[in-house]
Amino acid sequence: MNQNKTALAFLCHPDDAEFMCAGTLALLKQKGWQIHIATMTAGDCGSATLGREEISKIRRKESADAAAILDAQYHCNELEDVFVMYDKTSLLKTIEIIRNVKPTIVFAASPQCYFIDHENASSLVRTACFSCGIPNVDTPGVEPYTSVPYLYYSDSMEGKDIFGNAINPSIYIDITSVIDTKEKMLCCHKSQRDWLMAHHGMDEYIESMKRFASKRGSQINCKYAEGFRQHLGHSYPQDNILKIELKNLVTEK
């Protein structure tokens, strides 16, 4: 087994990781893991009033602040909101981050979700995990990383696909003990919370996170949980390293 205790949450937009997997990251941190959080975009469409550059600057800082709570490093792939494409340029940038971070565990967005940005982000990370070790995939100045990481997909938004069908996790992590850390990280995204209030009339940024974590928790008889599905295709690690690391906090279904 690869002994490098590095985990990378590589989702799509700033705050996606905080909603979907920050509790699990906090638990891994407690077990001595080095955490990295990457986003595909800087969240340049996440404001009703500020221009793209201005809001991006704010959201990069918010993401770095949230990551700092776990002593984690934040990386931005600098793609654009609504235009996260599965193309060569985006893929090479994604591969470069994975080669630099050298993670043993990667968390990605759900392959099925309400927003195609999330689905494309998921595909980019999936391919990057597989191809980061291929020498002829050239990222100038950055060496190949030859281990295929363990790849876990986070829950989709509201745990459903675009037809409204439930997407059930196969792995649940009891995050009850670190829900305050997850909340603290999410609170760093003040601009997003304000933007949601302005555009959707939602004054429940934190409450919606807790409600969903509570729903996942109720499925394994604990207060709060996060759900995942593991990528088990050819060439990816087949055992469940989260179970090895987090033991009885993990429920497999």
Q: Would you tell me which residues interact with Zn ion (CB under 5 A)?
A: 12-13, 16
Between 13 and 182, name the residue whose CB sits nearer to Zn ion: 13
Between 40 and 101, name the residue whose CB sits nearer to Zn ion: 40
Nearby residues of 199 by Cβ (< 8 Å), 6 or more positions away: 48
Between 114 and 236, name the residue whose CB sits nearer to Zn ion: 114
User: CB of 138: closest distance to Zn ion in angstroms?
Assistant: 30
Neighbours of 146 (CB within 10 A): 12
Q: Estimate to the nearest angstrom the gap between the alpha carbon of 167 and the chain centroid.
A: 17
CA-CA distance, 228 to 248, in Å (whole number)?
A: 16
Residues in the chain: 253
2 HSE (CA, 13 A, CB side): 19
Q: Can you read off the two tokens belonging to residue 208?
A: 């919606």
β-strand partners of 74: 37
User: CB of 117: closest distance to Zn ion in angstroms?
Assistant: 6
Between 101 and 121, name the residue whose CB sits nearer to Zn ion: 121
What is the C-alpha R_g of the chain?
17
CA-CA distance, 237 to 179, in Å (whole number)?
A: 29
Residue nearest Zn ion by beta-carbon distance? 13
User: CB of 83: closest distance to Zn ion in angstroms?
Assistant: 13
Whether residue 117 contacts residue 13, with contact meaning beta carbons closer than 8 Å, is answered with: yes
User: CB of 1: closest distance to Zn ion in angstroms?
Assistant: 32
Between 144 and 159, name the residue whose CB sits nearer to Zn ion: 159
CA-CA distance, 188 to 207, in Å (whole number)?
A: 15
User: CB of 118: closest distance to Zn ion in angstroms?
Assistant: 6
User: CB of 232: closest distance to Zn ion in angstroms?
Assistant: 25
Between 202 and 244, name the residue whose CB sits nearer to Zn ion: 202
Neighbours of 97 (CB within 10 A): 22
User: CB of 100: closest distance to Zn ion in angstroms?
Assistant: 23
Between 24 and 39, name the residue whose CB sits nearer to Zn ion: 39
Closest of 153, 155, 179, 168 to residue 249, by C-alpha: 179
